[in-house]
Amino acid sequence: MSKKNQSCRIKAEDIPLERGESPERFPDEDRVVLTDEGEPESFEEAKNDTHNRKWLSAMQEEMDSLHENHTYELIELPRGKKALRNKWVFKLKPGDGGNPPRYKARIVVKGFQQKKGVDFDEIFAPVVKMTSIRTVLSIASMDLEVEQLDVYTAFLHGDLEEEIYMHKP
């Protein structure tokens, strides 16, 4: 069953309690409504979605981008190495200025299957501090024009020391 435009109602008694908390902290009439943006949760859902051609086109666009940027090589898995599994992540980006929404698909490695010391040694995720953004914007406010830039392949600019093996999507 597709999760598109599906909502679910959660009763207070369904919410896990912290140790020592009593269920009376939530009155019975309280409800939480959760909804999603209508994105498929899996390849199977994307394939069976009413907009399946758009999702499949987004997937092909992702694979073309990875191929054009020489992101991977198809090889036999070396002896003693483990291939990580992957999954498709789908996102419906709202159109701006009356444009139709954009269908985005990304193939991601299930990195949580890796073990520290076996598959990798350290974790590093560069992020920008908010103070840096404020500084740049304050300098730009001195009669400069600010524009937004979306880098689709930003992840390609990082250097990996380890070899990563992944099953084909």
pLDDT tens track for 86-123: 999 999 888 888 888 899 999 888 876 666 666 666 66
Indicate the pTM of the whole model: 0.58
Phi/psi of residue 13, nearest 5 degrees: -70, -15
The DSSP line for 127-141 is ---HHHHHHHHHHHT
State percent of the chain over pLDDT 70: 62
Q: pLDDT tens digits, residue range 120-163?
A: 666 656 677 888 888 888 888 888 887 776 666 666 656 667 77
Query: From CA 39, how far away is CA 49, in angstroms rounded?
Result: 9
- 107 bridge partner residues: 88
